[in-house]
Structure 1
Amino acid sequence: MLLSATAGAQVTPVFTAPLVHSAPAVVEAPAAEPLTAERIVQWFEQACVATRGESGPAIDWALENGFQPVDPLRGTTDHLLGGEPGTVLVAPGSDGHVMLATAASQCSVWAERQEGPPVRQALAAMVGTLTARGARARVEVERNLERSGAWRSQVQWRYRGVGASQDLGIGGVTTLAAGPGTQMLHVAPLARAVNYGPDGTPLR
């Protein structure tokens, strides 16, 4: 409380309100998108299919979309590259369980702790959407095989995008069981297909 007075006037008290400091506003971080099979396949489409498996464009896209280099403490990731020199990056919000591996002749996405059937379904839906937009695709490999004690489904399409002149192999190796496992999606260039006539002569 302050006292205020003027000459010849009665002193009157002047009350001042105490300063009130408001609490800072709490800004909540946006919730991370759920790590679904559809999101994993979307990363694969944008990083590997849209770039036609070319390493430079795939890396550029990944870095622009929040992918980061693999933590060195994780250990070697050479097996993701099939022994080729290349780059492995980790997808944002995946806790290190989704990785993009790109080298001179391949581009792949590896997803750990994911169920295989939803990933395979999302991959088939992606190919269906692309063909509906004018791309060409046909299944060349479709089989089940046993690897590392688990049954897996392998599928590969011969794919040619709109305006492209080279075929790509788009495929995946996914677990058949519903439990979590490691799923792999890949893109690699294919040699030109040779069609044969009824007499066995190659058609060009």
Structure 2
Amino acid sequence: MGKVKVAGFALSLDGFGAGPEQSLEDPLGKGGRSLHEWAFATRTFREMFGEQGGEEGVDERFARQSMAGFGAFILGRNMFGPVRGDWPDDQWKGWWGDNPPYHAPTFILTHHLRAAIEMEGGTVFHFVTDGIEAALERARQAAGALDVKIGGGAETVRQYLRAGLIDEMHLAIAPVLLGRGEPLFAGLDLPALGYRVAESVAGERATHVVITR
């Protein structure tokens, strides 16, 4: 059985994993795009969207690790899209178009039932209504010997941290201040939960910190 990981999770210096006021125009919230500048120029990120070239270096190493070795993903509903409440129809299929970057079973946490959606490239979105542990059990079964990635957003990561279910977390800390948004660590005592800093490396556009339990 693989590990449960958070990888490539971008965080502001003041501890926000996304900006406020998520919308179709601002899927990462106001100012949220600035958290991910470290990844946009990397070879891995460009390959994900069918583009050539891209930078090598520390940021590229962590970007590649953040997408490698995963057999299943778990996302909060806000990571899947801006729709709230009951699903009005089956039109919304995620932010990423017909070929999302996951290429594996991906489990969406929600309170509202919806049939699974099979996308191009091997991504299948499954909608889980019975909580984080049920989603993780299904993701582990789907992943087999590979790792499970908790893809976010911040509140989803917080829930899994609070439950002590995350084995390893890689944060890409961007040199920006958001002031408000989705806090990652508010109310969490990570040392009391058994977490410690295992690695800290300065990259070209972010500082990469690995936390383990």
Q: TM-score per shorter chain, which class?
A: under 0.3
TM-score normalised by L of structure 2: 0.27
Relative CO higher for 1 or 2, CA cutoff 8 Å, sep ≥ 6?
Answer: 2
